[in-house]
Amino acid sequence: MKLSELKVIVTGAASGMGAHFARQLAAEGAQVAAGDINESLLSELPQSIHQRKLDVSDPHHCEAFVAWAAEKMGGLNALVNCAGILRDGLLVKKDRETGAIKKLSKQDWKVVLDVNLSGATFMAQEVVAYMAEKNVRPGVVVNISSISRHGNRGQSNYVAAKAALAANTLTWAREWAQFGIRCTAIAPGMIETPMTRGMNQKARDAVVAMIPSGRIGEPDDIWRAVKFTIECDYFNARTMDVDGGLSF
């Protein structure tokens, strides 16, 4: 698919990788509809990008956003599923001072699954339903997974969501082949974003030290992978790790 022919939704587009993807797609000539729960940051995107508040964890929000985006762009043939949050913590841990056993809260488990997995699923479902009904061919959905999908201490909720999203990339590619729609995924490693800048510095330095490429990644590193998966019509059903060689 040519980027200039895209009518694409980008979720999580107010900051970090999502904002970078939205800007780059627009610069390549694509029509872009950007959604995020943070309307203030969303408004900082170029005015050429359609913008609207989006809470991906709410299926009604997803349905309304897709209808709005298709109307604004005169159609729809792509989705970049980028919305995501972190609520890191050990599933079970012992307090260093008191020795008390503490558990990851049920709320922290639920909210990460609601946004990172259910939200991505709701968006994909609505976008593909639209394309199937309108007989839009070809189409593509790009899921943003994570190398944490392979397992990472202190991220049971995030790992569960991102691993499931990678698995469903294959599932959905098989289901949507009949509609001429591909499904791909990118699994970023440690990337410079507002999310990772909030990490404990000692923990951040330890992760960077394990990266063979010798540096933290930049959003543009992931953008190049997203661009490839959109443009290469033979790339389908697979999740591409883009992590500088990092392994936990």
Q: Please list the active-site residues.
A: 158
**Contacts for 121 with CB less than 8 Å, ≥ 6 apart:** 168
Where are the alpha helices (H) located in the chain, listed in sequence order? Answer: 16-27, 39-42, 59-73, 106-113, 120-134, 156-176, 194-197, 201-209, 219-231
For residue 89, what is the DSSP state? B
C-alpha distance from residue 25 to each of 28, 48, 50, 93 (Å):
5, 11, 12, 43
Closest Cα partner for 70 from 132, 3, 19? 132
Q: Is 27 helix (H, G, I), strand (E, B) or coil?
A: helix
